[in-house]
Chains A and B, each alone.
Chain A
């Protein structure tokens, strides 16, 4: 008796729910159909961590892509209507693979901005390569990314280039000679360490100490004591802003008087709010400077702030440029994956908000690199 009543109740509500779902589906189909009549719809994919530990990176990338697509649709200069399909990876390999399969097989995207992290790019990239879907990562800096294949592009300055340019600048422009390196024991930190060490040696400097830490460490006194013993002039930190801020404070407590240096992992207002006076004077390389006077970039910063209520970071800027390159390609050659790939590969001096961009033969972007300095609690442009 009672169980059959429960059954009826359950089935009844299921039927109601089903009817509602059908109505919504019908509405979506009618609406979608109406728009498709006016203009051909082209789907652009975005792949990255929208939830979880790395959600800030993924969200910045999603915002950058969305801004570019909204602008393009509003401008009336394009013969297609672009639709953004975002997929969350949680920063996880399994999710990244499934999300990539979905973008390609269910959403039928023409091109993809992503993935955001290096690990997920190395998992999802080969899928796009095999399916022949062009993909521009705005942020994956691991060296192996450029070996995925000819459909994978990278619109971010690699760790190698950043570390090499910082070493060159520190030695030739600042006249520093003795360097210590403290790096995170992850792909980012190790790549920076290798390239910085090589860069220092190539320019006639000397690396006197190399120490490492694990992600999430908060006490660096042992490493800093070892570094202090070697009496370096500068400390290159290969890691992210959270650890960099703590390292700076603990170095100051130990009385270690060195010039702090780093790469784009420093590029967050959090560096200053966490590090305070200890990070004053720190130098780092970055692909984007959001207080720049360059008119194109300033305009982007203004529009981004109006749309999302905060200043864009490097992730958002690279994603915005990557999406614009894809949109230009589709406008030029139509929504054909192979033709879009060829167009992107032949991009010459694309005027991006992160600087004039060209893709090298291995798919990596060649573009200018900023060196920024912390001064009075603000980032200023050093070079």
Chain B
């Protein structure tokens, strides 16, 4: 069934775009899972690439050294990453804010350096010879699975509790929420999906190298989540899609600026953060320039209708922030 679907898809998608879609799918799973920890639970996590690495190397080793099949290796990879999530989460999630960020960053580096020094992972030479078994239908299924599971999770009682932790941890604790247990659970679920994504990565790229799971990858994933909107799952889908496709878009559409595309990447983020600091589909109430400007236009329009002429309305000092459009 999946092979048949894959044949159909390959029939009308150019292999170049097919490859980009697979990469986008893998990044969507990673961004969704990171959003659970950072967007919904409010814990700044700078080591998500490490869970991806654990999943990728687990799948790679199981497939090349232990003769595992694709499905088995992917599931075990998710489970191993989840176990790593518990082990790392228990001590670090007692930390808050900057301290948690530094601890997770350190965890990411520990995993990378460990992979660099182990013999079984090929050390700096990397792990070769993984068969190419990831394909687009499988990735789409995995994306749907992660999205549905995470959506029902954040809409459940537990999801509300996670959001309560994000908004005010002390208040949540006062309400009887076991914050540490819930934080570790959210971390573990995120690690599981990151492990799955890592395994799909391994079976797609066929070669693993510790440098593919460095600090910058974690930062890029965080950028996808922030760009799309913290605390919004569709936002992560959008963020991962845009941020993964943008470099390729510039490569094909504007090759002249492609070599400077990192500038555009950065500029896009800066613009979004100025216009909408909570990301494209974010849910927090913070106002950016876009909202302030729109609110101003709205209150000006109202003033123009009420005032005697169009000139009087446009010269009137604009009302500030949200105060103007309340009564209108």
Q: Do A and B bind each other?
A: yes
Report which A residues bind B (CB closer than 8 A): 1-2, 50-52, 87-88, 90, 92-95, 97-99, 101-102, 104-106, 119, 122-123, 126, 142-144, 147, 185-191, 214
Chain A min CB distance to B241 (Å): 14
B252–A93 CB distance below 8 A: no
Contacts A50-B259, A98-B16 known; A126 to B206 CB distance under 8 Å? yes
> B92: CB under 8 A from chain A?
no
Number of interface residues of B (CB under 8 A): 33
For the complex with contacts A2-B297, A51-B261, A101-B16, 16 further pairs of A-B residues with Cβ separation under 8 Å are A2-B301, A50-B259, A94-B23, A94-B205, A97-B19, A98-B20, A98-B248, A99-B251, A102-B16, A104-B15, A106-B16, A106-B252, A119-B209, A142-B125, A187-B125, A191-B125
Q: Which one of B123, B211, B251, B262 contacts A102 once the chains associate, using CB atoms below 8 Å?
A: B251
CB under 8 Å from chain A, chain B span 251-271: 251-252, 258-262
Contacts A1-B301, A187-B126 known; A92 to B251 CB distance under 8 Å? no
In the complex, what residues of B have CB within 8 A of residue A186's CB?
A: 116, 124
In the complex, what residues of A have CB within 8 A of residue B215's CB?
A: none
B125–A92 CB distance below 8 A: no
A102–B252 CB distance below 8 A: yes
B205–A93 CB distance below 8 A: yes
B123–A190 CB distance below 8 A: yes
Interface digits, B1-44 against A, CB 8 Å rule (1 contact, 0 not)?
A: 00000000000001110011001000000000000000000000
> B324: CB under 8 A from chain A?
no
A93–B16 CB distance below 8 A: no
> B288: CB under 8 A from chain A?
no
Interface digits, B111-140 against A, CB 8 Å rule (1 contact, 0 not)?
A: 001001100000111101000000000000
In the complex, what residues of B have CB within 8 A of residue A190's CB?
A: 123-125
> B207: CB under 8 A from chain A?
yes
Q: Give 29 pairs: A residue, B residue, CB < 8 Å, sorted on A.
A: A2-B297, A2-B298, A50-B259, A51-B259, A51-B262, A88-B261, A90-B262, A93-B209, A93-B211, A94-B212, A98-B19, A98-B20, A98-B248, A98-B251, A101-B20, A102-B16, A104-B16, A105-B14, A105-B16, A119-B126, A122-B126, A142-B125, A144-B128, A185-B117, A186-B116, A186-B124, A187-B123, A190-B124, A191-B125
**In the complex the two chains form, what is the Cα distance from A347 to B126 in whole Å?**
31
A144–B205 CB distance below 8 A: no
In the complex, what residues of A have CB within 8 A of residue B248's CB?
A: 98, 102
Contacts A51-B262, A94-B23 known; A123 to B207 CB distance under 8 Å? yes
In the complex, what residues of A have CB within 8 A of residue B126's CB?
A: 119, 122, 187
Residue of B nearest to A2 (CB): B297
B19–A101 CB distance below 8 A: yes
Chain B min CB distance to A86 (Å): 8
Q: Which one of B19, B124, B125, B251 contacts A88 once the chains associate, using CB atoms below 8 Å?
A: B251
Chain A min CB distance to B256 (Å): 11
A123–B206 CB distance below 8 A: yes
> B321: CB under 8 A from chain A?
no
> B318: CB under 8 A from chain A?
no
Q: Which one of B19, B205, B251 contacts A87 once the chains associate, using CB atoms below 8 Å?
A: B251
**In the complex the two chains form, what is the Cα distance from A30 to B261 in whole Å?**
28
**In the complex the two chains form, what is the Cα distance from A126 to B206 in whole Å?**
9
B124–A144 CB distance below 8 A: no
B259–A185 CB distance below 8 A: no
In the complex, what residues of A have CB within 8 A of residue B260's CB?
A: 51
In the complex, what residues of A have CB within 8 A of residue B211's CB?
A: 93, 119
In the complex, what residues of B have CB within 8 A of residue A142's CB?
A: 125
**In the complex the two chains form, what is the Cα distance from A349 to B301 in whole Å?**
80
**In the complex the two chains form, what is the Cα distance from A52 to B247 in whole Å?**
14
**In the complex the two chains form, what is the Cα distance from A92 to B217 in whole Å?**
10
Interface digits, B269-306 against A, CB 8 Å rule (1 contact, 0 not)?
A: 00000000000000000000000000001101100000
**In the complex the two chains form, what is the Cα distance from A119 to B124 in whole Å?**
9
Interface digits, B55-97 against A, CB 8 Å rule (1 contact, 0 not)?
A: 0000000000000000000000000000000000000000000
Chain A min CB distance to B60 (Å): 13
Chain B min CB distance to A10 (Å): 14
B116–A106 CB distance below 8 A: no
Residue of B nearest to A117 (CB): B211
**In the complex the two chains form, what is the Cα distance from A101 to B15 in whole Å?**
7
Residue of A nearest to B262 (CB): A51
Q: Which one of B14, B20, B23, B125 contacts A144 once the chains associate, using CB atoms below 8 Å?
A: B125
Q: List the 9 closest pairs (A to B, CB-CB), nearest first.
A: A105-B16, A187-B124, A101-B16, A186-B124, A93-B212, A2-B297, A119-B209, A101-B19, A122-B207
Chain A min CB distance to B291 (Å): 13
A185–B124 CB distance below 8 A: yes
In the complex, what residues of A have CB within 8 A of residue B301's CB?
A: 1-2
**In the complex the two chains form, what is the Cα distance from A207 to B19 in whole Å?**
47
In the complex, what residues of B have CB within 8 A of residue A188's CB?
A: 124
A122–B16 CB distance below 8 A: no
B298–A123 CB distance below 8 A: no
**In the complex the two chains form, what is the Cα distance from A190 to B117 in whole Å?**
11
Q: Which one of A92, A143, A144, A214 contacts B212 once the chains associate, using CB atoms below 8 Å?
A: A92
In the complex, what residues of A have CB within 8 A of residue B14's CB?
A: 105-106
CB under 8 Å from chain A, chain B span 203-261: 205-207, 209, 211-212, 247-248, 251-252, 258-261
Q: Which one of A52, A144, A185 contacts B116 once the chains associate, using CB atoms below 8 Å?
A: A185
Residue of B nearest to A96 (CB): B205
Residue of B nearest to A92 (CB): B212
**In the complex the two chains form, what is the Cα distance from A122 to B234 in whole Å?**
34
**In the complex the two chains form, what is the Cα distance from A191 to B123 in whole Å?**
11
In the complex, what residues of B have CB within 8 A of residue A123's CB?
A: 205-207
Contacts A2-B297, A101-B15, A122-B126 known; A88 to B205 CB distance under 8 Å? no
**In the complex the two chains form, what is the Cα distance from A191 to B124 in whole Å?**
10
In the complex, what residues of B have CB within 8 A of residue A98's CB?
A: 16, 19-20, 23, 248, 251
B128–A122 CB distance below 8 A: yes
